[in-house]
Structure 1
Amino acid sequence: MKRSLVIVLLFSCVIGVAVSIDFESLYTMERASDFPLLMPQGIEWESKAVFNPAAIMVDSTIYLLYRSEDWSGTGRWNGTSRIGLAKSTDGFEFTREPSPLIYPTEPYEIPGGCEDPRIVKIDDLYILTYTGYDGGKARLCIATSKDFAEWEKLGPVFKDDTWSKSGAIVPAKIDNKYYMYFGDSSIKLAYSTDLKNWTIFPRPVMEPRQGSFDSRLIEPGPAPIITDEGILLIYNSADFSTIYRPGAALFDIENPRKIIKRTDKPLAEPELSWEKQGQVPNVIFIEGAVIKEDRLILYYGAADTYIGAFVVDLTD
């Protein structure tokens, strides 16, 4: 049996669903609603904005981990971020937990907070990547949990203390290593055996393309999905008009550095009023992906203020 097939079968067992996604079917995604699934609420930790959600299936329930902001701060630091938790059985009607799941406790997270989560489960471990922001520098961080209640913060991923963001970990080990796509200008790849010590490959695996929808910057979206075609990475991008649109790329499962194909046009455009107007106008930013009942649900932040979802029918 080929090693790539072994990995696909392992991944399928982990999430309980055989993963078969036609790359071109991503262009058929449709909005789940013309209205946000979640909006800011209250006067405290999620009063200013809720956006950029990660998502994962826990038993038969979808857990949505979303970035929230309050109204504190001024200047470059404008609101403390925390990571909230909402749950849904159908993927669209959510009940929020009253308190944040992850909140700033460390010097590298204060005062800006904990931003932009991605989540994956490998073996019996939930692995959460997020950005710790001290008001001046962003640092990619990791936290882990075995029960989704108690979380251990492992600290910044990279020891050189450089600016880093947007970590999307491949949801199965390859050659007994964790692989992670990361970056917020180009997309790089790193690997680790223990989630604490990471080695970065010297060259980016993807870069912006001149004259395209992704000409200014690109960064990973949700945790990749292992399909029978390869490693599917949905990514976020912006052009020089500062319009944020998602794209997708497929990588070789036996060589996660090797790109097989990449979308030549965006998967979606900011069209609705709440995608065009908010803290940052004209933003669709996908960070969550789950497969439920033959549908791929992609959760996104809109205008850095709201949360929406796209749906891809996998039955065709």
Structure 2
Amino acid sequence: MNFIVSRLKVVTLLLFFANLCVAQQSRLPEWSLGGFERPAGINPIISPDSTTRFLDPVLNKYVGWESNDTFNPGAALYNGKIVVLYRSEDKSGIGIGFRTSRLGYAASADGLHFKRDKTPVFYPANDSQKKYEWPGGVEDPRVAVTVNGTYVVFYTQWNRDVPRLGVATSKDLKHWTKHGPIFEDAYKGKFVNIPHKSASIITKIVNGKQVVAKIKGKYWMYWGELHVYAATSTNLVDWKPVVNADGLLTELFSPRKGYFDSELTECGPPAIMTDKGIVLLYNGKNKGNQDGDQRFTLNSYCAGQALFDKNDPIKFITRLDEPFMRPMASFEKSGQYPAGTVFLEGMVYFKKKWFLYYGAADSRVCVAVYDPAKPSKPDPIN
């Protein structure tokens, strides 16, 4: 009898700990954002369109500018509507990075249903940035707005030689002034010719609106794809990377062997200041061998979150060990990136909810929504 009772106690304890593990996987820590829910029957919200034409100023001919793929969107609020600037690729080449990318414009009153412009609003042209942007184009925008209504977009300038972070400003998200590579002047141009991309400027909520933040008199951003770095600015245009005493870039956090972010830790949409700290959503690429997390598709991109000190943006505190979003729907796992991606780039605070816009398999644009009053569960692990 005692033996049976003991075995029952062991089984009860095992069930308790198993249920505890499941419970831990079904919720996020208090400092993080989410979970995000994909609205039923909505995604993808933007797909390729082979009917639209654009008179390209470099080629001086009409092109099907969004005919092959539409993905990796930035987003911001303008005149009470959410505007998505999405990366679009034509059919000028074969394979990721070998076509020309331009940015399309789509607006929505509810954050879910969008009306698209017929022509791109941001693209390579015969201007001062042509040497950086042609023939690869302008890629992967992250958009934010200042308190005074100036929009700033950070994007990849891709000349098929070196990817560089470029910056442009606007008052309406349609008419842009390009300012060139963000690291062009820092440290006498030391970093301008090294590959760099993916900039997430720090923002905060002011009177119910998400705006660019200043910390100790400076603007701050996180950037990078192999490691996460930081940079500061006083004017939003000229940026200075944070470096160590030896002049090398300061690595804030990096890929981890055996985790979903074992290959890359690529910065996502604008980071957000909260009472718990600065939350950075990022895109983790799973390594394609035994060093990756075997629970997830090898080479896939899943979504992570990291926390930094709100008074010291380079003081890394922690990050999620498991992704809160991963490729699950068919359109997130089929396209020009068949390993699957949920690639986060745009996030907007709208009607007391967070609208997250992401690229699916480098082929389509999708949305997920986090309601702080009724948070959803993170994506299941298995």
> What is the TM-score of this pair, normalised by structure 1?
0.89
2:275 corresponds in structure 1 to 228
**Letter matched to residue 307 of structure 1:** V
Q: Percent identity?
A: 42
The answer on 1:121 being equivalent to 2:129 is: no
Equivalent residue in structure 1 for 2:314, among 247, 257, 270: 257
Which whole-Å deviations, capped at 9, do the CAs of 1:258-277 have from their partners, x for residues lacking one?
Answer: 12231111011211111111
CA contact (8 A) 2:121 2:175 kept: no
SS in 1 for 2:132: helix
SS in 1 for 2:331: helix
SS in 2 for 1:73: coil
Q: Cα–Cα, structure 1 residues 260 and 113, in superposed 2: closer, same or farther, change >3 Å?
A: same
CA contact (8 A) 2:78 2:172 kept: no
SS in 2 for 1:30: coil
Equivalent residue in structure 1 for 2:341, among 283, 292, 303: 283
1:303 corresponds in structure 2 to 361
Q: 2:162 & 2:40 partners in 1: Cα distance?
A: 35
**Letter matched to residue 197 of structure 2:** K
1:16 corresponds in structure 2 to none
**Letter matched to residue 54 of structure 1:** G
CA contact (8 A) 1:191 1:200 kept: yes
Q: Which 4+ stretches in 1 moved above 6 angstroms?
A: none
Query: How far is 1:178 from its partner?
Result: 1.4
Q: 1:259 & 1:175 partners in 2: Cα distance?
A: 18
Equivalent residue in structure 2 for 1:172, among 195, 208, 213: 213
Which whole-Å deviations, capped at 9, do the CAs of 1:151-181 have from their partners, x for residues lacking one?
Answer: 1101011223211100111121112211111
Equivalent residue in structure 2 for 1:157, among 163, 171, 182: 182
The answer on 1:29 being equivalent to 2:49 is: no
1:238 corresponds in structure 2 to 285
SS in 1 for 2:164: strand
Query: How far is 1:38 from its partner?
Result: 0.8
Query: How far is 1:80 from its partner?
Result: 0.6
The answer on 1:195 being equivalent to 2:220 is: no
Query: How far is 1:76 from its partner?
Result: 7.1
The answer on 1:210 being equivalent to 2:257 is: yes
Q: 1:53 & 1:153 partners in 2: Cα distance?
A: 19
Equivalent residue in structure 1 for 2:133, among 109, 126, 135: 109
Question: Comparing both structures, which one devotes a greater share of its residues to strand?
Answer: 1
User: Number of aligned pairs?
Assistant: 295
Query: How far is 1:75 from its partner?
Result: 6.5
CA contact (8 A) 1:185 1:216 kept: yes
SS in 1 for 2:359: strand
CA contact (8 A) 2:31 2:277 kept: no
CA contact (8 A) 1:247 1:263 kept: yes
Q: 2:109 & 2:238 partners in 1: Cα distance?
A: 36
Q: 2:314 & 2:32 partners in 1: Cα distance?
A: 21
Q: Cα–Cα, structure 1 residues 31 and 75, in superposed 2: closer, same or farther, change >3 Å?
A: closer
Query: How far is 1:74 from its partner?
Result: 4.4
Q: 1:303 & 1:29 partners in 2: Cα distance?
A: 18
Instruction: Say what the alpha-carbon RMSD is for the aligned residues.
Output: 1.7
SS in 2 for 1:108: helix
Structure 2: runs of 5+ lacking an equivalent? 1-28, 52-63, 185-191, 203-211, 244-249, 288-297, 375-382
Q: 1:116 & 1:128 partners in 2: Cα distance?
A: 10
